[in-house]
């Protein structure tokens, strides 16, 4: 079986890390022949590892370069196919690729929504909104399999009244998170966040929140795990707020379970999330987790560890709430393992679901 995944790039991010985990966890004897159509000529830091394990990587210009993109994508389908499935992860732009896949007779045409932008920091322009509405209509017929990581992500891409959307959350491997021993330091109070340094993750809020906490408790630290285009501006903001020495920009890391085990509280104030796998991983690691109240309810994986606050509350309320959370217990491994048994957020569950979908 041949499956073509369509996305922008293979740098660390929610979708990309999920696909990497999926590929590595899938038994080689039953794993489909995975191809990736990538919109950036720099395939990304995850690409060499996937390629070395047998994945096929192809450059295909983004749909905004319509003629070149259509020509390249059609050629890819013809030269490397026939493909049993085209699995798109590029939100509304999946209309473009699925239309070409339908023209070439691809049996399974899958659009998977990983995002919910309905509460984003900037309202879409009328032109953008028109494009999104047209995409929703076209996807009803072009995508014969509709997937979403949460109910909110389903509504964002396919419309709130769309039917036959299957919820398939991006899963993770819980074992490293369950097995990492606690390394918390009593001499510091460490907030941690995992996510790309992009506007929707709301890192500016995290830095201002940290500045307020440092004023109350100088032992406060903020660890930002991840990288992205906002890094230099965020470093400048930390410097201007006088908290640069209290903030660590870790960049992309492959030892996230170890870092989570050394922190005290995970804070997740995103403007928008399709799901927010990082907040699920923090709970699996046993961390009390503070989530913006509008984010998907599916993030309450372990209710004993999760709390929610509205982003429009004064920052002083977030400060007080976080200081109160310092007394929350960190669930031990046995408690977490019991709660996560048969979780739909495990990579093993994802493998079972996708095996059925690709065979349908």
The 10s digit of each residue's pLDDT in 239-261 is 999 999 999 999 999 899 999 99
Q: Is the pLDDT of residue 84 over 80?
A: yes
Superfamily for 2-171+345-359? Glycogen Phosphorylase B; (3.40.50.2000)
Q: What band does 120 get if pLDDT is binned at 50, 70 and 90? A: low
Asked if residue 273 lies in contact with residue 118, where contact means CB atoms within 8 angstroms, the answer is: no
DSSP structure class, residue 8: S
Per-residue HEC secondary structure of 39-94 comes to CCCCCCCCHHHHHHCCCEEEECCCCCCHHHHHHHHHHHHHHHCCCCEEEECCHHHH
Mean per-residue pLDDT, 198-212 = 96
Q: Is the pLDDT of residue 335 over 70?
A: yes
Q: Phi, psi (5° rounding) for residue 250?
A: -80, -20
User: H or E stretch including 267?
Assistant: strand 265-268
| Residue range(s) occupied by CATH 3.40.50.2000 in the chain | 2-171+345-359, 175-340
Specify the 3-state DSSP secondary structure of 7: strand
Q: pTM to 2 decimals?
A: 0.85
Q: Are strands 145-148 and 108-113 parallel, antiparallel or unpaired?
A: parallel
Percent of the chain clearing pLDDT 70 (strictly above): 99
User: H or E stretch including 298?
Assistant: none
- Mean pLDDT computed over every residue of the chain: 93
Q: Is the pLDDT of residue 328 over 70?
A: yes
pLDDT at 13: 86
Answer whether CATH 3.40.50.2000 is correct for domain 175-340. Answer: yes
Cα–Cα distance for residue pair 103/236, rounded to 1 Å: 49
Q: Is the pLDDT of residue 121 over 90?
A: no
Cα–Cα distance for residue pair 360/340, rounded to 1 Å: 28
């Amino acid at each position: 079986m041949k499956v073509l995944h369509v996305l922008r790039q293979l740098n660390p991010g929610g979708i990309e890390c999920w696909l990497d985990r999926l590929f590595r966890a899938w038994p080689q004897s039953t794993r489909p022949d995975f191809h990736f159509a990538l919109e950036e000529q720099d395939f990304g830091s995850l690409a060499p590892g996937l390629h070395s394990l047998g994945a096929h990587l192809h450059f295909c210009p983004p749909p905004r370069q319509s003629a070149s993109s259509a020509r390249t994508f059609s050629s890819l389908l013809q030269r490397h196919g026939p493909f049993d499935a085209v699995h798109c992860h590029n939100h509304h732009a999946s209309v473009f690729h699925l239309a070409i896949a339908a023209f070439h007779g691809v049996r399974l045409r899958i659009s998977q929504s990983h995002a919910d932008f309905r509460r984003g920091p900037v309202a879409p322009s009328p032109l953008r909104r028109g494009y999104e509405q047209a995409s929703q209509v076209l996807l009803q017929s072009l995508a014969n399999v509709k997937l979403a990581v949460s109910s909110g992500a389903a509504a964002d891409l396919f419309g709130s009244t769309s039917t036959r959307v299957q919820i398939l959350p991006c899963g993770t491997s819980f074992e490293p998170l369950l097995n990492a021993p606690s390394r918390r330091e009593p001499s510091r109070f460490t907030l941690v966040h995992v996510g790309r340094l992009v506007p929707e993750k709301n890192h500016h809020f995290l830095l201002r929140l940290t500045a307020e906490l440092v004023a109350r408790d100088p032992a406060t630290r903020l660890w930002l795990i991840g990288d992205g285009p906002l890094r230099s501006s965020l470093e400048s903001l930390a410097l201007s707020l006088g908290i640069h020495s209290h903030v660590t920009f870790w960049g992309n890391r492959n030892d996230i379970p170890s870092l989570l085990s050394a922190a005290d509280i995970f804070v997740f104030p995103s403007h928008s999330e399709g799901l927010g796998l990082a907040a699920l991983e923090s709970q699996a690691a046993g961390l009390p987790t503070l989530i913006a109240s509008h984010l998907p309810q599916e993030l309450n994986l372990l209710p004993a560890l999760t709390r929610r606050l509205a982003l429009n509350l004064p920052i002083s309320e977030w400060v007080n709430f976080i200081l109160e959370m310092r007394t929350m217990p960190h669930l031990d491994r046995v408690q977490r393992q019991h709660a996560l048994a048969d979780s739909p957020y495990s990579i093993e569950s994802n493998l079972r679901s996708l095996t059925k979908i690709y065979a349908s």
